[in-house]
Amino acid sequence: MFLSVCAFSIMDLIVKWSENYPVGEVLFFRGFCGMIPIFFLIPRERYKDFYKTDRFFLHLKRCISGLIAIVAIFIALRKLPLATVVSITFAAPVFTTIMSIFFLSEKVGLYRWLAVIVGFIGILIISEPGYSSLNIYYIYPIIFCFGLSYVAIAIRQLSSTEPVWLIGLYFSFSIMLISFFTLPQGWIMPSLKDLFLLSMVGVLGGLANLWLTQSYKFSEVSLVTPLKYLALVFAIIFGYLFWDEVPTTKTLLGSALVIISSIIIFRREVYYKKQVTISRHE
């Protein structure tokens, strides 16, 4: 989990740095280079038919929701302070709780509804909505949470029959494919140094998801999940060092409420022994 958090944090840092490159071009590197670590996981007996699946439509829905999420988070990272974006993304369990009612017919009890309310209050404190000062870019990390929430539900359904590498491969391929539609907007030829950094967006994203999956496979969920909140510490450090960003008191207060909300949801679902892991999968 620690390696996964580090990889995602460095990936976020590079995405924010890449603001001079079109989003579509960065998406290409995320998709193409993200497939590299995945190919090493394909079993030898699946080399000839590694792409085959009986659940293509569910893969398609997972990819569409994932694409919405990743485009939203890339835009948010470029337009908002790093710590602010990471703080709001912690609210994904809140949205997953709500969406599970409709897609999984789950019953949500009093404690989780209270956690949802606390999470929304935290988001409101961070984004400070108002008619005169509303920053439209605050909507993007919220869109990311919605997209990621459906991704979590889709992966929960897919994982009963599909290997992790196939789920990741379809998603990375879809990112690369959709990026080609942005070619007419003009891509920029990167320097050798920039080419390396852009490629690392894909490699780190692919490795982060694999490490995250492995951490939940070999360790107790209750032990590794709290480590994901280290991402906020990294975001604060990176934001200050590279962009002189200092999180406001409201951002820290809202972050605390969002984290408390997600921990309550996590603890309640562990109590009911449900699969509650919400990995970024981007």
pLDDT tens column, 210-263 = 777 666 555 555 555 566 777 888 898 899 899 998 888 888 898 899 888 888
Find the domain containing 198 and state its range: 2-271
CA gyration radius for the chain?
A: 18
CB distance 20 to 214 below 8 Å: no
pLDDT at 73: 94
The torsion angle over the Cα atoms of residues 19, 205, 175 and 187, rounded to 10 degrees, is 30
When divided into structural domains, the chain yields a total of: 1
pTM of the model: 0.83
pLDDT at 201: 95
pLDDT at 10: 94
Token digits of residue 226: 């709290």
- Residue 14 included in any domain: yes
Q: What is the mean pLDDT of the chain?
A: 84
Token digits of residue 257: 């409420």
- Residue 170 included in any domain: yes
In 3D space, the residue among 29, 8, 14 whose CA is nearest the CA of residue 182 turns out to be: 29
Q: How far apart are CA 28 and CA 14, in angstroms?
A: 14
Token digits of residue 38: 């995945």
- Residue 146 included in any domain: yes
